[in-house]
Amino acid sequence: CVHVEVVIFGRVTPVELAYNQVEKIV
């Protein structure tokens, strides 16, 4: 998954969750 947001903000952001969903679809 794309964890850039987690690294920057130190927490799971809506953007991170969105990337996870996209990755699952792709």
Instruction: Check whether 6 has a pLDDT greater than 70.
Output: no
Are the C-beta atoms of residues 23 and 16 closer than 8 Å to each other?
no
- pLDDT, residue 22, reads 77
Instruction: Report the amino acid identity of residue 1.
Output: C
Cβ neighbours for 2, distance < 8 A, ≥ 6 positions apart: 16, 19, 20, 23
d(CA 15, CA 9): 11
Residue 10 in 3-state DSSP? coil
d(CA 26, CA 13): 20
Arithmetic mean of pLDDT over the chain:
65
Q: What is the pLDDT of residues 8-19, one digit of tens each?
A: 555 666 777 777
| Assessment of whether the complete model's pTM goes beyond 0.75 | no
- pLDDT, residue 14, reads 74
- pLDDT, residue 17, reads 76
